[in-house]
Structure 1
C-alpha cells in the first residue's frame, strides 16, 4: 500500500473515532435522563400560557369513580415522546375543580397528564382531600382512558387551601410520590417532619385565610432539613391567588414538577440559585437538589 493511501486510511479511522467520541456525551445524557420530555426550557417557555404539547381533555363523572368526586383529565395528544408523569390537583374549601381548572392545560401542555378533581364534599377537611388525591392518582393510572399515556412511577400532587393541606397529607401518606406543591395551604397540623416527597410550598403575602405565619411558613420549616424543598411567597397576593392564571405559580410549579417528576435537571436553573423577582416577597430553599 502506498504512503498516501495509508495516510488517507488513517485519516478516515481518526475521523470515525472522533465522531464516536463526540456522540457519546449525547447518548450518555439521554441515558441519564430517561424521563426528560420536551425541548430545552427558557424563561419565556415556562412563563407562556401554553407549552410545546397540544392537549385534549376528558371528563370523569363522580358516578364512575370511588374515593373522590370525579374531575377533568388534561393530557398531551402526542404519544411520540412515550409516557408522561401525572399530577392530581385538589380545590379548596367549598370550591370545585373549576377554581383550579386553569392549571390543567397550563401544566399538561408542558408534558404532564393533569387531573383536576372535585371532592366528595365541598366541606371535606385536609386529611380527606389527601386521601382523595391518592384515590384520583390510582384511578388515573389504572382505570382512566389516559392510563396508557402515564408512567405510574412518576406522580405528583397539588392543591389549593384545604386542597393544599391535603397535598401535604398525601405526601406524608405516600412517600413514593415524586413531587408535592401545596398552594396557599391550610391545615391544623403543623408538623410535617415525616414527609419524604420533594415539596414546594407556595404562600401568599397578604393571605388572611391561611396566613403564611400560621400555615405555609411553619409547614415549610417543619419539613426535614435534608428534603428537597422550597418556600415561595407571592408578593402582595391573597389566599385566592391560585384560583386564576398566575405566571409565577405556573413558572415555579412547572419547574418543580419537571425537576422532580421528570428528573429533568434542565429546569434546576429556575429554582437555584434563589430566584429574585418583584412577584416574590420571600423565597427559601435547600439548593442544590439531589
Structure 2
C-alpha cells in the first residue's frame, strides 16, 4: 500500500434535446472547469422499473464519439436535478452521463442499488436502439458515481456487476453496517471521497469501506478538509475540489488519459496538498 502525505487540516426526440454550456471553494481549473464540450441532454424514452426518472447528458459533438459513460445519483431525499453540478462537468469533459432519481428517494438503501443497476442497463439499451446516443457509448468504459446512499449503491452495484464496471466514484458513501463493508467481487478502480466534517457518513466509516476493497484494485481515499455531508448536492460548497478528484479519476480509468494523473498523484496534487485541501489522502496501486 502506498500512502500519500497526510496533511492535518487547520480547521429523446431531437426537438426535446437541450443544448447549453456548463458554467467556489477553489478556483475552477483543469478538471473542475468546463471542458471542451457543450452538453446536450434528453429525458424522453428513459423509463425503467429500476429507477424513478432519468436524464441522459452527452457531448453535443457526437462525431468525436464513442465516449465513456457513467451513472450519477444522489442520496437520501435527493432527485437527479440536485446532482447536475457533477454530471454537467463530466459531460463537458467527454462523458455520457445518466443522472438518476431512485424509485423511493425516502426509502431503503436497496433503492439506490437498484437504480444504479438499472442506470447501467439503460445506458446499454440507449446505445443499441434508435436514441440520440445510439452507438455513442464505449461499453467497455462504463463507471458509476453516487453520493451518500447513492455512493453505497455504486459500490454494491459495481460489486454485483464485476468487470462490466471499470471505475467507481463514491462520494461520502453512507453505510453504517461494518459487516457489509467488504466487497470481494468489485473489479472497478475506486475513488472514495468524503469531507473531514461529515457527521452523517463519517470519515471512519468511509475508511472502513475503503479498507474493504480488494487490495489488487487501484484506489484512492480522499478526505477533504472542512467539507461536510451536504457539500455534494447543487447547493453545496467544495464542488471544484470534488470535480477535480472525480473527473480526473474517471478520465484516467475510463479514457486512459494520463494527463489527468497530475491532479491525483503529481505536481498539481502536491500543490493541493500544500494548499491544505486534504486532511487525509491515501492511494493504493
TM-score class, shorter: 0.7 to 0.9
Measured against aligned partners, the alpha-carbon deviations of 1:37-78 in whole angstroms (never above 9, x if no partner) come to: xxxxxx932131x1001111112477x322111211111011
Contact 1:69–1:117 (CA under 8 A) maintained in structure 2: yes
Match of 2:81 among 64, 85, 98: 98
Whether the 8 Å CA contact 1:61–1:70 is kept in 2: the answer is no
Q: Distance in 1 between matches of 2:188 and 2:241?
A: 22
- Give the structure-1-normalised TM-score: 0.78
Residue in 2 aligned with 1:11? none
1:52 corresponds to = 36
Give the match for residue 131 of structure 1. 114
Equivalent position of 2:97 in the other structure: 114
Deviation per CA, 1:159-214: give whole Å up to 9, x if none: 1110011011011011221100110111232222432210000111111111111x
C-alpha separation between the residues in 1 aligned to 2:103 and 2:116?
A: 11
Indicate if the aligned counterparts of 1:154 and 1:261 stay in contact, CA closer than 8 A: yes
Residue of structure 1 in register with 2:261 after alignment: 268
Structure 2 residues not aligned, in runs of 5+: 1-27
Q: What is the match of residue 143 of structure 2?
A: 156
- The equivalent of 2:67 in structure 1 is 84
> Secondary structure of the equivalent of 2:63?
coil
- What residue ranges of structure 1 are gaps of 5+ in the alignment? 1-42
- Is 1:197–2:188 an aligned residue pair? yes
- 2:240 maps to 247
* Corresponding residue number in structure 2 for 1:230: 220
> What RMSD over aligned residues (CA atoms) do the two structures have, in Å?
1.8
Where 2:183 maps in the other structure, the secondary structure is coil
Residue by residue over 1:126-151, the C-alpha shift from the partner in whole angstroms, topping out at 9 and shown as x without a partner, is 33312321211211221353232111
- Higher RCO (CA 8 Å, separation ≥ 6 residues): 2
TM-score by length of 2: 0.80
Question: Which residue number in structure 2 is paired with residue 211 of structure 1?
Answer: 202
Q: Which structure's CA Rg is the greater one?
A: 1
Instruction: Return 153-162 or 71-80, whichever deviates more.
Output: 71-80
Deviation per residue, 1:253-281 (Å, 9 max, x gap) = 11100111112222222222464142222
The count of corresponding residues between Structure 1 and Structure 2 is 242
